[in-house]
Amino acid sequence: MAGSIHLKATREKSVLRHHPWIFEGAIQRVSGKLNSGDTVDVFDAKENWLARGAYSPSSQIRVRVWTHDKSETIDNGFFIRRIERALEARKHLIASQHTNAFRLVAAESDGLPGVTIDVYADIVVLQLLSAGAEKHRKKIIWAVEKCFPSAKIYERSDVSVREKEGLNLQDGPVKGNDFGPVIIDENNIKIEVDVREGHKTGFYLDQRDSRVLSSKYMKDARVLNCFSYTGTFGLYALVNHAKHVINVDVSSLALSQAKRNFELNECDMGKAEFVKADVFSFLRDQSTNNESYDHIVLDPPKFVDNKASLKRASRGYKDINLYALKCIKPGGYLSTFSCSGLMSSDLFSKIVADAALDANRKLRILHRYYQAPDHAVSSSFPEGFYLKGLLCEVQ
Ligand code: SAH
């Protein structure tokens, strides 16, 4: 062990509840000469052993806990056990849902702080976002190769939170070549995923169940898919017999990929439109022109980056929901989402309710959307919950 961390009196409580983060302010003293990512033992103020974690000198989250088991060492075996456990935890999803793309490791919620591993058919994408994950990169890659011997591996550690950990952004092939777009199969729908340039690790796996659920309310519908990215909500709509779908996104790259996805699935292209526009002004124009839809999907990017931006973000959510509601036919549906972890479900529901009042519409909430179960949240890590949504009937 490189060294140890000794907590201030009473600051052990969250560690005892197995929360994986230890903040700088909870630490009384650090002993030993520690480098970024080094493994440390954590003690309470009475010198009782609490946990073992990774030290991160640049981050306010000074330690991320690997284990609460004193006998467990952070070696190759540790990573392989964690990854095998994560795979086992997803066996029902893989067996019951028709998909060859899933999140294998959801970082803290799977006991591997800072480590995200996604599988897209024969490609495994790694994202290492903490000092500890970086320190053990070789072991993690070794464990992935052991579990998926024939897979290609690509790294997408190009997320700015790495800078908070004192790490450079990094991406590129780890094993194999030919990382051109891969076609995944999700519920018998083919979707092109670009692991090199796509958002996150390439695709929004977390919305898999929302796509299924929303499409049940789209038969014969005129659908407006806002913030469409590669068009998947719209694609599910057409495959499930929607009458017409308009996909709106600000990125032409995303829209051309969306178009390819519709073609891949042999959709009737006469029923699909791809519009490059800013959703805020697009929706305002639609409402001014009295356009009306049977189902509108609002799946915007993360509006809230920190607590200071919550108020401004709330206005953004209110705006798009208000104008969308004005454009929904009586008896139609709104599927509305927020993927901002700092936006609570309660606040989000209140914003949508306020938007309905202002739009002079009544809503019945039929379902609450949640991140797909391969993104499940550990009960000791509530921060893992970020994606929420409402499926509302508009009266
Ligand atoms: N619904 C998608 C994911 C959406 S991600 C899916 O299930 O795969 C958010 C998308 O919003 C991105 O494609 C981004 O290009 C787009 N975007 C961000 N701001 C926008 C804006 N103001 N107007 C239109 N599109 C926007």
Residue 335 resides in a domain: yes
Ligand 1, atom 22: closest residue by C-alpha: 278
- My answer on whether 231 and 356 are in the same domain is yes
227 CA → ligand 1 middle, Å: 3
Cα–Cα distances (Å) from 42 to 49, 89, 277, 379, in that order, read: 6, 28, 51, 21
Ligand 1, atom 23: closest residue by C-alpha: 278
Q: Of 19, 44, 67, which residue sits at a domain end? A: 67
- My answer on whether 91 and 36 are in the same domain is no
CA atoms within 13 Å, Cβ hemisphere of 123: 26
- My answer on whether 149 and 237 are in the same domain is no
Average of per-residue pLDDT across 285-295: 97
For 106, the domain range is 76-182
Average of per-residue pLDDT across 149-174: 95
14 CA → ligand 1 middle, Å: 36
- My answer on whether 84 and 14 are in the same domain is no
* Cα torsion through 306, 376, 62, 126, rounded to 10: -100
Average of per-residue pLDDT across 307-327: 96
- Nearest atom of ligand 1 to the alpha carbon of 225: 1
- My answer on whether 82 and 48 are in the same domain is no
248 CA → ligand 1 middle, Å: 8
pLDDT at position 299 is 98
- Tell how strand 293-298 and strand 328-338 pair up: parallel
Please state, rounded to an integer, the average pLDDT across all residues of the chain: 96
Q: Of 47, 67, 87, which residue sits at a domain end? A: 67
Is it the case that residue 247 has pLDDT exceeding 80? yes
pLDDT at position 370 is 98
Task: Give the mutation target among 208, 232, 249, 274 for probing the ligand 1 site: most ligand atoms within 8 A of CB.
Answer: 249
- Phi and psi dihedrals of 25, rounded to 5? -65, -15
Ligand 1, atom 10: closest residue by C-alpha: 227
Task: Give the mutation target among 201, 214, 229 for probing the ligand 1 site: most ligand atoms within 8 A of CB.
Answer: 229
266 CA → ligand 1 middle, Å: 24
Beta strands in 100-161 (DSSP E): 101-106, 115-120, 123-128, 152-157
Is it the case that residue 326 has pLDDT exceeding 80? yes
pLDDT at position 98 is 87
Average of per-residue pLDDT across 342-369: 98
278 CA → ligand 1 middle, Å: 9
Q: Of 67, 97, 118, which residue sits at a domain end? A: 67
pLDDT at position 1 is 64
229 CA → ligand 1 middle, Å: 5
Is it the case that residue 338 has pLDDT exceeding 90? yes
- Per-residue confidence band for 13, with pLDDT thresholds at 50, 70 and 90: very high
- Nearest atom of ligand 1 to the alpha carbon of 280: 22
Q: The domain spanning residue 139 has which CATH number?
A: 3.30.750.80
- My answer on whether 388 and 280 are in the same domain is yes
In the chain, % of residues over pLDDT 70: 100
Residue 219 resides in a domain: yes
In the chain, % of residues over pLDDT 90: 96
- My answer on whether 60 and 110 are in the same domain is no
Residue 95 resides in a domain: yes
Ligand 1 environment, Cβ below 6 A: 204, 207, 227-230, 232-233, 249-251, 254, 278-280, 299-301
Q: Which has more pLDDT, 94 or 213?
A: 213
- My answer on whether 145 and 232 are in the same domain is no
Residue 194 resides in a domain: no
343 CA → ligand 1 middle, Å: 18
Angle between helix 232-239 and 208-215 (nearest 10): 40
CA atoms within 13 Å, Cβ hemisphere of 302: 16
Task: Give the mutation target among 186, 201, 207, 227 for probing the ligand 1 site: most ligand atoms within 8 A of CB.
Answer: 227
225 CA → ligand 1 middle, Å: 10
- My answer on whether 59 and 93 are in the same domain is no
182 CA → ligand 1 middle, Å: 21
Residue 40 resides in a domain: yes
Inter-residue contact 130 to 114 (CB < 8 Å):
yes
- My answer on whether 168 and 227 are in the same domain is no
Cα–Cα distance for residue pair 320/207, rounded to 1 Å:
19
Average of per-residue pLDDT across 130-152: 97
Average of per-residue pLDDT across 237-265: 98
Task: Give the mutation target among 250, 276, 319, 338 for probing the ligand 1 site: most ligand atoms within 8 A of CB.
Answer: 250
Residue 247 resides in a domain: yes
Domain count, the chain: 3
Residue 188 resides in a domain: no
- My answer on whether 92 and 176 are in the same domain is yes
Q: The domain spanning residue 331 has which CATH number?
A: 3.40.50.150
- My answer on whether 155 and 236 are in the same domain is no
230 CA → ligand 1 middle, Å: 9
Structure confidence by residue, pLDDT tens digits, 69-128:
999 999 999 999 999 999 999 998 888 878 999 999 999 999 999 999 999 999 999 999
- Nearest atom of ligand 1 to the alpha carbon of 337: 1
Ligand 1, atom 16: closest residue by C-alpha: 227
Is it the case that residue 294 has pLDDT exceeding 80? yes
Q: The domain spanning residue 55 has which CATH number?
A: 2.30.130.10
Residue 240 resides in a domain: yes
